[in-house]
A = this chain, B = another copy of it.
Amino acid sequence: MNPRVLAIPGSLIRQVAARKRPDSVDLGLGEPTLLPSSAHFEYAMRHALVRGVKYAPNAGIPELRDAIARHYGYAGMNVRDNVCITAGSQEAMYVTLMTLLDPERDELLVVEPAFPSYVKMAALDGVACRSVTMSPGDGFAFDAERILAGVGDATRAIVICSPCNPTARVLARDQAERLVLGLERRRGAPVWLIHDEIYRELTFVDDAAYLAQRYPYTVVTNSVSKSNALTGLRLGWILGPQTFVEQAIKAHAWVTSCTDTFAQHVALHVFSTPGGLREHAGWYAQQRADVVAALDECGLPYAPVEGSFYACVRLPEGTKSLDASNDLIERHDVVAIPGMAFGGALEGWLRLSWVAPFDRVREGVKRISQYANALS
C-alpha cells in the first residue's frame, strides 16, 4: 500500500468528539446545531422528481456557477469560468493544493494554528509543507510580517483560514494589505494565496479582509456547510482566476467527476434567495455576544472572538491540552478539543465550539473555568 496513506494518523478531533456521552456538554465538533431551511430542499426535490438526478457538467451546473461568481463579485473572478463546484470545501481545498503545487519542488506554507486538513492533504500528495505560527501573546492575530517571514524560496502558496478555525480571529484589512504588498515585492514566480472562507458569513468585525479583492493570485474555497447548516450536503466550490480554475476542473473531474446534482440545486436555491446565505447570521451574532459575555464573566483567558463559531481559551501555565481535554470529558462531562490538534502553537489551549443551545454552552464554560481554577 501507499506509505503516504499508511502514515496518516486518524483524526484526533473526531476521536475526541466520539467520546461524547448522551448527557455531555458538547463544545467539540464544528457543526451547526440549527436546521437548514426546508425551502432549499423542496426546490431541489421538485427538480429531482421531474428531471431525475443526471450528471452535472464536471465544473458544476452553469446557473450555480453564475450565481456564485456574481454573489462574491471579486474582480477578475466574477463569471462562470471562475467557479468549480466540488464535494464540499474539503475537495475544493484538496483539488486546489493538487493543482497549484508541483510535488517535485513546491512548498505549501500553512498559517497556524490551523485546521489539520491542509497539512494532511499536502502529505497525501507528497507536497512539502512548512508552517508559520501566529503569536499566542497576541491572541493569534493574523500578522503580515510573521507570515512573510515564513515564506521560503520554494513556497508557492500560503493557506489562510479567515475567519479562522480554530482561533476565531479574522484577517484585518491593514494586515492583508501589508501581506499582499510584501508578496508583490518578491521577485520570481508569484506566491499564491489560498483563502479558506468557509466561516465568511460568521464575521463579527468590520474590517475583515477578502484577499481575492486585492490580489489576483488568490484562490478562494468555500461551501454552504457552515452558513446554512448544510455540513452533510458536501457542497463547496473553488473561486479563482480562469487560468487556474480550468486546470482545477480537470483535477476535480478525475477525483470525483462532478458534484451531486441534487445538492447543487439546494445551493442554487440558497443563492437565489435574497439573504439566503445570511439566514443564520443573526442567530450567530447573538450567540457570539452571549458567549463572549459568559467568557468574560467566568474569567477564563480567551483569544478575541472575531469570527467563526469557536473560541480558544487558555489553560493555566503548564497544562497539557490533551490531558485537560481528557479530564474534562471523564470527570466533568464536557467535550472540548485540545489545542495541540491544531499544531504546536495552540498547545495549552482548548478550542470550544459554541453551536449548542446557549444554556449548554454557558454550563460548559462554567465547568471548564472551575476545572482551570482548580489547576492554578
> In the complex, which range does the number of interface residues on chain A fall in?
35 or more
Q: A102-B2, A261-B232 are in contact. Are A49 and B41 (CB under 8 A)?
A: yes
Q: In the assembly, what is the distance between CA of A290 and CA of B87, in Å?
A: 39
Q: Would you call A263 an interface residue if the criterion is a C-beta within 8 Å of the partner chain's C-beta atoms?
A: yes
A98 touches B126 (CB 8 A): no
State how many copies of this chain the complex holds: 2
Q: A10-B250, A88-B256 are in contact. Are A232 and B5 (CB under 8 A)?
A: no
Distance in Å: Cβ of A353 to nearest Cβ of chain B? 13
B117 touches A254 (CB 8 A): yes
B247 touches A6 (CB 8 A): yes
Distance in Å: Cβ of A81 to nearest Cβ of chain B? 14
Q: In the assembly, what is the distance between CA of A101 and CA of B6, in Å?
A: 11
Q: In the assembly, what is the distance between CA of A254 and CA of B7, in Å?
A: 13
Q: Which residues of chain B are within 8 angstroms of A102 by Cβ–Cβ distance? A: 1-3
Q: Would you call A107 an interface residue if the criterion is a C-beta within 8 Å of the partner chain's C-beta atoms?
A: no
Q: Would you call A131 an interface residue if the criterion is a C-beta within 8 Å of the partner chain's C-beta atoms?
A: no
Q: In the assembly, what is the distance between CA of A121 and CA of B256, in Å?
A: 10
Per-residue B-contact encoding for A29-62, CB less than 8 Å = 1, 0 else: 1010011101001000100110011111010000
Q: List residues of chain A with CB under 8 Å of any chain B CB.
A: 1-3, 5-6, 8, 10-11, 14, 29, 31, 34-36, 38, 41, 45, 48-49, 52-56, 58, 87-88, 90-91, 94, 98-104, 117, 120-121, 124-126, 229-234, 244, 247-248, 250-251, 253-263
Distance in Å: Cβ of A266 to nearest Cβ of chain B? 8
5 A-B interface contacts by CB (under 8 A): A1-B244, A90-B257, A91-B257, A260-B260, A263-B263
Q: A5-B98, A8-B254, A91-B255 are in contact. Are A262 and B247 (CB under 8 A)?
A: no
A256 touches B244 (CB 8 A): no
A53 touches B233 (CB 8 A): yes
**Of B41, B52, B94, B126, the contact of A48 (CB 8 Å cutoff):** B41
Distance in Å: Cβ of A33 to nearest Cβ of chain B? 9
